[in-house]
Amino acid sequence: MTNLPINKLNLGIVLAALLVNLVACQQTPQAPTQSGDRVKVKTAYIASEGRFQQEIVNIALEKLGYELEVKQLEPTTLHVALGNGDLDFFSSHWEKLYQGFFDNSGGEEKLERVGAIVTNTLQGYQIDKKTAEQYKITNLQQLKEPKIAKLFDSDGDGKANLTGCNPGWGCELVIEHHLDAYGLRDTVGHNQGSYNALIADTITRYQQGEPVLYYTWTPFWLAAVLKPDEDVVWLEVPFTDLPKEQAKLTEEDTSIDGKNLGFAVDRIRTVATKKFLQANPAAKHLFELVEIPIEDINAQNQLFQDGEDRPEDIRRHAENWVQKNQELFDSWVKEAKTVSE
């Protein structure tokens, strides 16, 4: 009986040692050489709607001599995998929205954010223009009034139904924070689940002439279906109030065109492990160079919404974009190669 704990302890020590050795044996991908051997790198994407820009980056890396292993992960899991070295980079990282994920995965000690693929990305709340004008609704805090909130009640509980954000995406934390900060708990319900399914129902209700209230972002295909200022309007917030990871942001950081949307005006960047960037200067410089117009991403997202949503479709969309922007794309690859020469 006395030997059992000792044996367990010895086994634990052995297993721990094996784990340390296994981690120590993990190798950071090294830059491709002139031998022609392709270097494997690991990346991931979160949602298919965000895969387009990732594929453009992947195609450029392939031109530099890399071979990509791609998987789909949730935001938390993806950033943890980066921090652990199980992924090398990710090219759809919302800088401010994902600050908590970044910090909790090793932060600047392990990771580095590079370049800016898309700038002035937006998030916020929209309602149908008809209801906004009829009831003079311009600000989210007006939903504190039960009579106003009830206009958006789609399930009969007396509260406004806000089509919200998937658990784990990061935006749901901001919405939940706003419900408390603006005193909306008693009058607004945050509908969560599959965003695409929820927003499809929201669109149907809009088409039937019903008031709608929902969270959205850009770039995203929804803006081509429910057009801002034509079909729907952005709601302002009374003041900027964000979760602790973004608590230092001010009204200037959450406003665009004179409207305070309550969410940080953001950038989509590449985040990578420091080890990968140090070992692969050409890839790092490529990440610094890649920029994609938000209009092009919106257009691709519309193709996605129209049914071209398979991985091979998104890859084809990226290849078509490269062909249409061949001179620019080739300049990225050429300049990136000079770093390693």
Tens digit of each residue's pLDDT (9 = 90 or more) over 322-332: 999 999 999 99
Residue 277 and residue 305 share a domain: yes
Last residue of a domain, one of 207, 238, 266: 266
Query: In the prediction, which pLDDT does 9 show?
Result: 35
Percent of the chain's residues with pLDDT above 90:
79
Q: Does 160 share its domain with 94?
A: no
Per-residue pLDDT for 22 more than 50? no
pLDDT at 14 over 90: no
On whether residue 128 sits in a domain, the answer given is yes
Answer yes or no: do 132 and 158 share one domain.
yes
* 262 in the same domain as 126: yes
Same domain, 262 and 167: yes
User: Residue 74 in contact with residue 121, Cβ under 8 Å?
Assistant: no
- Does some domain include residue 310? yes
pLDDT over 80 (residue 213): yes
In a domain, 16, yes or no: no
Write down which residue in 222, 243, 266 finishes a domain. 266
The CA-CA-CA angle for residues 329, 54, 81, to 5°, reads 140
Last residue of one domain, picked from the residues 228, 247, 266? 266
Residue in 123, 127, 135, 129 with CA at minimum distance from that of residue 161: 127
pLDDT recorded at residue 224: 86
The pLDDT of 15-24, averaged and rounded, is 39
Output the domain CATH number for residue 149. Answer: 3.40.190.100
Q: Examine the domain organization and report whether 170 and 298 are in the same domain.
A: no
Does residue 26 register a pLDDT over 60?
Answer: no
Compute the mean pLDDT over every residue in the chain, rounded to the nearest whole number: 89
Residue 49 domain flag? yes
Q: Of 26-35, 108-117, 180-189, where does mean pLDDT reach its minimum? A: 26-35
Confirm whether 74 is domain-assigned. yes
- Over the range 94-125, which residues count as b (16 or more CB within 10 Å of their CB) and which as e? bbbbbbbbbeebbeeeebbbbbbbbeebbbbb
Do 236 and 161 share a structural domain?
yes
Task: Enter the pTM of the model.
Answer: 0.83
Over residues 236-277, the pLDDT tens digits come to 999 999 999 899 999 999 999 999 999 999 999 999 999 999
Secondary structure letter of residue 93 according to DSSP: E
Reply yes or no on whether the pLDDT at 8 is more than 60.
no
Asked whether residue 126 falls in the same domain as residue 246, the answer is: yes
Angle at 286 between CA 285 and CA 290, to 5 degrees: 125
Query: Are 272 and 214 part of one and the same domain?
Result: no
Could you tell me which of 228, 332, 284 has the C-alpha nearest to residue 28? 284
∠ Cα 31 36 38 (to 5°): 55
In a domain, 9, yes or no: no
pLDDT higher than threshold 80 for residue 151: yes
Q: Which residue has the higher pLDDT, 121 or 341?
A: 121
218 is in which domain, residue-wise? 121-266
Same structural domain for residues 247 and 181? yes
Residue 167 lies in a domain: yes
> Tokens standing for 304?
């996605």
Whether residue 24 has pLDDT greater than 50: no
- Report how many domains make up the chain: 2
Q: Are the CB atoms for 90 and 78 separated by under 8 Å?
A: yes
Pair (189, 204) in one structural domain: yes
Residue 236: DSSP 8-state: B
What is the CATH classification number for the domain harbouring 65? 3.40.190.10
What is the arithmetic mean of pLDDT over 15-30? 46
- Predicted local distance difference test score (pLDDT) of residue 57: 97
Domain for residue 19, yes or no?
no
Nearest to 134 by CA among 233, 208, 260: 233
Reported residue count of the chain is 341
Note whether 150 and 195 are same-domain residues.
yes
For residue 48, what pLDDT band results from cuts at 50, 70 and 90? confident
The mean pLDDT value for 34-41 works out to 67
Average pLDDT of span 225-230: 94
